[in-house]
Amino acid sequence: MEPVKIGLLGLGTVGGGTVTVLTRNAAEIARRAGRAIQIAHAAARAYDPARISGLGDIGRISDDAAAVVADPEIDIVIELIGGYSPALELVLAAIDNGKHVVTANKALIATHGNEIFAAARRRGVMVAFEAAVAGGVPIIKALREGLAANHIEWIAGIINGTGNFILTEMRDKGRDFGEVLAEAQARGYAEADPTFDVEGIDAAHKLTILGSLAFGIPLQFEKTFTEGISRIQAQDVAWAGELGYRIKHLGITRRTPAGIEMRVHPTLIPHRRLIANVDGVMNAVLVKGDAVGPTLYYGAGAGALPTASAVVADVVDVVRALTTDPTNRVPHLAFQPDELSDTPVLPMEAVETAYYLRITALDRPGVMARIAGILGEQGISIEAINQKEPAAGDTHVPLIMLTHRVREANMNEALDRIQALEAVAGEIVRIRMEGLDG
């Protein structure tokens, strides 16, 4: 049987890893796929030949990505350019030319996936994107296939390794955010502009995809609430630890009677939870299904070979299904296209969660009572409170509070009123809390 011919767009970190895996494991991959797989045409503006094993096995390398997607010899296009443009135009052109597509581009899928999948259905081709979420962790396959019998209740994931590395260092070594961020950049974990990582945008792209797969709704990145970790302070990490919690930057999506929660934010979780002990640059996704209960998926969320592992696994899946009737393939978003629901994505103000609060208040009688009174008027019940010692000569003290679950809108109103008190100094710190119990 003739080999399946691949067109590869991009020879950067993941593209180079994909070449290495496809060539190094060629015989094993062919045994699994049923046919040999060859990279016939690759396009890259620049690449480092010394860093990529197997370049000599590529049929042709040029700098013309458009020529790759138009090449009649190509069966499958692997898009590893990243970003929105020209990736979107190239993917749509490949689909229009009748080629299957494999991509690791979470931003592209989260923002343009609905359009891409509709185009793929019209042309009867597949679009695979396992590497778009959690690198080498096969979470998309788990949701689309392994958990297909389940009514998914919620997902909570550490899906950005950079943020997890920063929070781990802050906890273990008591370091400040800015210092650890600089180290993450020096190590290559964070980009020169780290906004996507530390402000939660990268995680929100991934959570958008997970939410659609879990609940059968269209991709709606613009409705995903996003809050980063740049305002987390070392003292909050330490005090959370004293209370039996760890701070993780989580993506959380949950089905409720009112709609679907989609939110990315720093979160206190009990230190005994397995996911609370996922450290460094590793990723983990916790999924709660009604039949299977909680399941945890852990592994490398980035890197050349781990991500290439997911890319090549998608290629193998596509090769196996090349002769399959398009209507009998695994749906892009896990549910049949005409079965996607219009269940609303809830605004953050409608979400219920518990909270960690740090309020710096004047150390005098009546202040604590006034703060507690405001919380009570908004229906907010305090679970625990801890007043820290003031610094020498300081007239203000940190008040640490844990609350029971309450609607975000109520908490917003309470914090606005507390912040306006003359006895309160500085900005109130609010970190959401989740039990994540199964």
Say which of 141, 206, 248, 288 is annotated catalytic: 206
Look up residue 402 and give its amino acid.
L
Beta-bridge partner residues of 287: 155, 295
User: Can you give the three-state secondary structure of the chain, one letter per residue?
Assistant: CCCEEEEEECCCHHHHHHHHHHHHCHHHHHHHHCCCEEEEEEECCCCCHHHCCCHHHCCCEECCHHHHHHCCCCCEEEECCCCCCCHHHHHHHHHHCCCEEEECCHHHHHHHHHHHHHHHHHHCCCEECHHHCCCCCCHHHHHHHHCCCCCEEEEEEECCHHHHHHHHHHHHHCCCHHHHHHHHHHHCCCCCCCHHHHCCHHHHHHHHHHHHHHHCCCCCHHHCEECCCCCCCHHHHHHHHHCCEEEEEEEEEEEECCEEEEEEEEEEEECCCHHHHCCCCEEEEEEEECCCEEEEEEEECCCHHHHHHHHHHHHHHHHHCCCCCHHHCCCCCCCCHHHCCCCCECCHHHCEEEEEEEEEEECCCCHHHHHHHHHHHCCCCEEEEEECCCCCCCCEEEEEEEECCEEHHHHHHHHHHHHCCCCEEEEEEEEEECCCCC
Looking at residue 165, its amino acid is F
Written as six digits, the tokens of 385 are: 């409170």
C-alpha distances (whole Å) from 357 to each of 118, 137, 262, 290, 382 are 45, 34, 22, 32, 10
Residue 223 falls in the annotated catalytic set: no
| Residues designated as active site | 206
